Amino acid sequence: MDVCDVLIVGAGPAGSSCAWKLRDSGLTVVILDRQTFPRDKVCGGWITPPVVDELAIDLEEYSRGHVLQDIQGFRTSRMGSREVETDYGRPISYGIRRCEFDDFLLKRCRARIHQGVALASLEQSGDRWIVNGQFKARLVIGAGGHFCPVARLRGANARQEVSIAAQEMEFEMSETQREQCSIRPEIPELYFCPDMKGYGWCVRKKNFLNMGLGRLDPHGLPNHLVAFSAFLKKARKIAFDLPAKMVGHSYLLYGHAKRNVAADGVLLIGDAAGLAYSQSGEGIRPAIESGLLAAKAILAAGGVNSPALSEKYRFLLAQRFGKVQQEWAFSIGSHLPTWLVSSLARILLANQWFSRRVILDRWFLHCDEPALIC
């Protein structure tokens, strides 16, 4: 039997960041993932400078073997209405490919990695957890996303939770397709649905194009995807037929989840804990930060079996993410008549100040939140 101190289920950014932070702790860390890396992941695919700082990533080194696209601003609009371009004149984000980025983080974390291994069983034996009858760990960390098997085995029911549904595709454009795509690599575009219950995006990264749409209304997603595709062609954003079908993904917004993130030698991090920003739906930065905070809690509590660990982790999460703020599209659209929301959206999203100071600085870039260095 493979014995370890910490067993992390899920090798995405949350799990690999946690393992990376524990690399010099003297603890033995094992990561399991049902997939084999590199693998694709549904995501718009950009990171902000605080993430770079939090993970101590050398951008010059990273760019030598991976796609890294400087992002200097965004075009934003209510779908079909006046667009507003905000150019910061400097990199305020970086476009990445998740298949490359996640693999990069995993390879450098220095944990024992078992790929292609799904979690089948989780049983408690004294102060240890037995996983799949093969691994014995003192602490199990669920980092398997919205449908994390650790969260499920601990009582979470993802299908009964209010979640965001998204569909996305990413592909390499041919030379002809690049000529027929008006999206500029340094200026991605965000298009909000008229009812403000979601938004679509187009992010160009070198020769790759990532596009998708996410909504709080899962049942209405197919119709909005059709409208989104029609809008892109009518606006001449993309003048070619899409080469593939979109891939689906679900996740919980922070404050919408009621999952027990820490108890009895089990912690949940990332999307498994339901930490995506309520303003933008971004999950990658909260995932990474929760992984780092889980590691900090382990070290601060004095070990993986410390009675203080659960309380410490909950405290650090609350301290970092603060009170639940439901101030944006996904929630505003649920409390006002659709016609009023649509009218307000058309006015506000056409305003340069609102687009920069609220939508971008506050909701998407989180300029008021410094990097988490722990």
pLDDT in tens, 11-69: 999 999 999 999 999 999 999 999 999 999 888 999 999 999 999 999 999 999 999 99
19 domain residue, yes or no: yes
**Closest by CA position to 192, among listed 340, 348, 334, 325:** 348
Q: Say whether both 149 and 277 belong to one domain.
A: yes
pLDDT value of residue 322:
82
Q: Say whether both 10 and 103 belong to one domain.
A: yes
**Cα distance between residue 117 and residue 324, in whole Å:** 35
Q: Say whether both 190 and 275 belong to one domain.
A: no
Reading the block at residue 151, the tokens are 């969260």
**Cα distance between residue 313 and residue 331, in whole Å:** 28
pLDDT value of residue 296:
98
373 domain residue, yes or no: no
Q: Say whether both 169 and 209 belong to one domain.
A: yes
**Cα distance between residue 316 and residue 359, in whole Å:** 27
344 domain residue, yes or no: yes
Which CATH number is 215's domain given? Answer: 3.30.9
Reading the block at residue 367, the tokens are 């300029």
**Structural domain containing residue 190:** 164-251+327-364
Reading the block at residue 358, the tokens are 């609220």
Q: Say whether both 168 and 130 belong to one domain.
A: no
80 domain residue, yes or no: no
pLDDT beneath 50: ranges in the chain: 324-330, 332
Q: Say whether both 190 and 235 belong to one domain.
A: yes
Pairing of strands 135-142, 2-9: parallel
pLDDT value of residue 327:
45
pLDDT value of residue 334:
54
268 domain residue, yes or no: yes
Q: Say whether both 57 and 9 belong to one domain.
A: yes
136 backbone dihedrals φ, ψ, rounded to 5°: -125, 120
Q: Say whether both 343 and 247 belong to one domain.
A: yes
Q: Say whether both 35 and 179 belong to one domain.
A: no
Counting the structural domains of the chain, the total is 2
76 domain residue, yes or no: no
Q: Say whether both 39 and 134 belong to one domain.
A: yes
Q: Say whether both 101 and 185 belong to one domain.
A: no
pLDDT value of residue 194:
87
Q: Provide the β-strand partners of residue 70.
A: 94
82 domain residue, yes or no: no
Q: Where are the beta strands (DSSP E) in 144-289?
A: 164-172, 189-192, 198-205, 208-215, 247-251, 262-263, 266-268
143 domain residue, yes or no: yes
Q: Say whether both 220 and 294 belong to one domain.
A: no
Which CATH number is 111's domain given? Answer: 3.50.50.60
Reading the block at residue 363, the tokens are 């909701």
**Final residue in a domain of this structure, among 304, 321, 338:** 321
